[in-house]
Structure 1
Amino acid sequence: MKSQYIARVGVIAAAYAACTLVTMLFLGSLAWGPIQFRVSEALCVLALFTPAAVPGLTLGCVIANVANIVLSGTGMLGMLDVVFGSLATFLGALFTWKMRSCPLIALAGPVLANALIVPAYLPLLLQGIGFYTIPFTSISLDGSWGLMYLFGLVTTGAGEAVIMYVLGYPLQRSLANTPFMKRELAQMGTTAK
């Protein structure tokens, strides 16, 4: 049973990291940056089905954020995203697992965790890589951490909500109806809604 759990963690981590890197390749800074649509976050719905999703999603986020350091050249500032971005994913996935009996509420976990945590360090990271104004606005990053945090709270939260409820919720509904998931849930003694 332990080897099956570890395998699930690894598969989920690989899926999250791969989806994030594909998002980066095709959507550019929308996987990172002040306005975020990290499509891989839809995989947080896996925490509705298995506790292995919590470490799997966290590990996948760490891998993706380390890869971003290499690909974008953020250097040590990128470690902020590795530590705190991965913490947000961990807390969001943990909330989702704990609240799995009510999926619509459970999916709010990643939204809240990312909306509150990511904008706290994002201004430092963006300034470090040369962004001095918020895209599509004239808000300067110099000396306006509060405005940047508020902007990030709204945009990161809205982006995460779109991912979780427009992509994630239908994914959860589809997965819950597969024979594999029905069998797995029956073995765990839970039911999917």
Structure 2
Amino acid sequence: MLMKSNEVARIGVIAAVYAACTLIALLFLGSLAWGPIQFRVSEALCALALFTPAAIPGLTLGCAIANVANIALSGTGMLGLLDVVFGSLATFAGACFTWKMRKHPLVALAGPVIANALIVPAYLPILLQATGFYTIPFTSISLDGAWPLMYLFGLVTTGAGEAVIMYVLGYPLSKSLARTPYFKADSPFAEARGASH
């Protein structure tokens, strides 16, 4: 079955907004948008998956576009393709979880946190070495042969950064969107209010 044109448009808008927000963050926040301690502000847009399944391909495509652009900006070269593939996979998995659990918004927003915390640290040490990091940040532990320690470091820092973004920015964003006419009909918060009456 072919997608309706308004669904394709919604996917395109979400992808463009995510990619633009990520690139702006990359330009102004540098490694905070993709490095060992991440606060990728654009991840707050994963809250859109509470309202529409179009957010799943939209966010995934936007992440892939931003990560391709980051190859040129960060100088990771072809190793940056790891981020294009696996970073986009993390965004896809997180958005899927958020959509599936949308009736429980606080639980649903944990999807991107868990997906990014588990997936991103698996390839991050390779990218860090490619961009000039040779020790685990804030330690003197060499990245060579320290993959389990780096994974654990990344699990904590990536998960914590994503949690801050999802719950400090994403949750209020979703509550605000739920009050707008465009998203009100699809709001998981309306269902929660209805169930409490």
Q: TM-score, normalised by structure 1?
A: 0.94
Aligned to 1:47: 49
Q: Which amino acid aligns with 2:100?
A: K
Residue of 119, 126, 130 corresponding to 2:121: 119
Distance, in Å, in 2 between the alignment partners of 1:164 and 1:190 is 16
Aligned to 1:31: 33
Aligned to 2:99: 97
> 1:74 touches 1:128 (CA, 8 Å); kept in 2?
yes
Asked if 1:167 is matched to 2:169, the reply is yes
Aligned to 1:151: 153
Shift of residue 127, structure 1, vs aligned partner: 1.1
Structure 1 vs Structure 2: percent identity of aligned residues? 81
Q: Return closer, same or farther for 1:30/1:192 CA change in 2, 3 Å cut-off.
A: farther
Aligned to 1:56: 58
Distance, in Å, in 1 between the alignment partners of 2:191 and 2:19 is 26
Aligned to 1:15: 17
Cα deviation, 1:88-133, whole Å, max 9, x if unaligned, reads 0000000000000000000000000000000000001111222101
Shift of residue 190, structure 1, vs aligned partner: 9.3
Q: Quick check: 132-141 or 150-159, which moved more? A: 132-141
Query: How large is the RMSD of aligned CA atoms in angstroms?
Result: 1.6
> 1:176 touches 1:192 (CA, 8 Å); kept in 2?
no
Distance, in Å, in 2 between the alignment partners of 1:6 and 1:158 is 33
> 1:13 touches 1:58 (CA, 8 Å); kept in 2?
yes
Shift of residue 191, structure 1, vs aligned partner: 4.0
Give the gaps of 5 or more residues in structure 2: 193-197
Number of equivalences: 190
Give the gaps of 5 or more residues in structure 1: none
Q: TM-score, normalised by structure 2?
A: 0.92
Aligned to 2:90: 88
Aligned to 2:138: 136
